[in-house]
Amino acid sequence: MEYRVERDSMGEVHVPADAYYGASTQRAVENFPISGRRFGRRFIAALGLIKGSAGEVAGREGHLSEDVADAIRRASDEVMDGALDNQFVLDIFQTGSGTSTNTNANEVIAGRAGELLGGEDGSRLVHPNDHVNFGQSSNDVIPTAIHIAAVGAIREDLIPALTTLVGSLEAKSAQFEDVVKSGRTHLMDATPVTLGQEFGGWAAQVRKGIERLEKVLPELEELALGGTAVGTGINAPSGFAAAVIALMAERTGFNLREAENHFEAQGAKDAVVMASGALKTIAVSLFKIANDIRFLGSGPTSGLAEIRIPDLQPGSSIMPGKVNPVMSEMVMQVAAQVVGHDTTITWCGATGNFELNVMMPVMAQDLLESVALLAKASTLFATKCVDGIEVNSGRVRELVERNAVIVTALNPYIGYDNGARIVKEAAATGRTVRELVVESGLMSEDELDAALDLKKMTEGGIT
C-alpha cells in the first residue's frame, strides 16, 4: 500500500495515499483494531448532515469564506449519500466520546472539500478543526448524530415495519373471528376464546409498541448541538447551533430542536436509554407473539397443531419431510439480541461522569442495530409467516370439545363445587361435560344447549 506522511501535534503518521482522512484518524485506526465493526449508514449520514449544515450556516453568517463553506457542504452531502463510506474506517470500540469518529468525519470532509477546491491531499485548504468542526465539539456532535440517526431509523424503518405487522395480524384476526378454540392459561386448558381474539391481542401489542415509540421520538429530537465541549457552548457563536438545527430540521422533516439544558444532554444519555427501553418492550412483545404462533403450529401429530404455518424450508438434515417454525425462531433470536443491547445501553447510560458520557459509540451502535433488527424481523415475520397462516379447523374443534373447563359457563347454574367434580370425573373417565351433567341431573339437555354455547362463551357475561 502506498502512503503519504502527515503531521499532527504528536508527530508524523503514515496515512494511506488515497485516504481523505489524516493523521488523527490513522492513529485511531492503529489504536483500536478491536472488532472490525464500523458505524452504519444512518450514523455516518447523520454526521454528514451535521457537518454540512454547520458549514452552510457558518458561511451564511460570515464565519467561513463562501467557497470553503460551499465545499464543506458539497463534501458533507457526499458523506450523507454514502459516497465516502469507505473513508469511515474506525472501530466502534474506541474513545468513549466518539472523538475519533468526529475527527474522522472532519478529516474526510476537509480532505474532500479541499479536493473540490483544487487542492492536493494534505494541502489543508480546508482545515478539519478550524473549518469543518467550526462551532462544534465531539462532545455535542456525537450525541446529536446518535439522536438524528435513531429518529430517522425509527420513523422511516421501524414504525412502517411494525405497521405492516399490525396489518397482517389484524387481517388474520378478522379472518378467524368465528373460529372458537380452547383458551389457555398457565399452559393449561381454560375457557374458550376465538382465534381471532388471539390475533387481535397480538395486533394490539404491536400497536402499543408503535405508540411507545411515538412517545420516545420527541426526546430524541432534542439535540445536544450547541453545548460544545462541556455544555457551556464555548467557541460557538450565539445562535449558531439553533440555526444549524433549524436547517437540519428543514432538510430532514424531523421536529429537531436544541436541548433545553446542555449539561443534561451531554452528561447523560437518558433519552437513548429510554428509547432502548421502548425497543426492548417491542422485542418482548414480538417474542411472545412468535412463541405463541410457534406453539399453536406445533405438531403436526404430537403438538397443538391448531394452525398451519407456511412451509419455508426443510427442517432437518436427517429427518425427511420435517419442517420447522423458522420465522418464529428468527424473531425470538432477534428479540434476545435486542434485550441484550438494552442491557448494554442501560449500563452505558449509567456511566455519564460529570459533563460527559464516555460510552457513546457502543450505545449508538447497539441502539441503531436494535432498530434495524426489529424492522427487518417484523416485515419478514408478517410477509413470510403471518400472512400465510391457516387454521386447522378439525383440530381446533376436537380440542375445544374435549376441554372440560367449559364447565365454567355452568357455574351460575350448578355452582363451583359441582363444576369441579364434573371436571375431575371427565378427566378420569374421558367422558364429556355434557354427558356427566345430564347424567347427574344437574341440568336438562335444553338448559345445557343454551348454557354451553361455545361462541357465546367468548363474548363475556353469563351464557
Give the residue numbers marked as catalytic. 186, 316
Of 384, 404, 281, nearest to 328 by C-alpha is 384
Q: Are 357 and 231 within 8 A, CB to CB?
A: no
Contact partners, residue 202, CB within 8 Å, separation at least 6: 169, 288, 289, 292
Peptide bond before residue 128 is cis, with ω within 30 degrees of 0: no
Cell output for 76: 458533507
Calpha distance 160→156 (Å, rounded) = 7
Task: Read off the amino acid at residue 236.
Answer: A
Q: What is the DSSP letter of 130?
A: I
Contact partners, residue 204, CB within 8 Å, separation at least 6: none
What region, left, alpha or beta, does residue 68 occupy, with left being phi > 0 and alpha being psi -120 to 50 degrees?
Answer: alpha
Give CA angle at 186 (180, 191), nearest 5°: 30
Calpha distance 191→455 (Å, rounded) = 11
Peptide bond before residue 33 is cis, with ω within 30 degrees of 0: no
Calpha distance 32→94 (Å, rounded) = 6
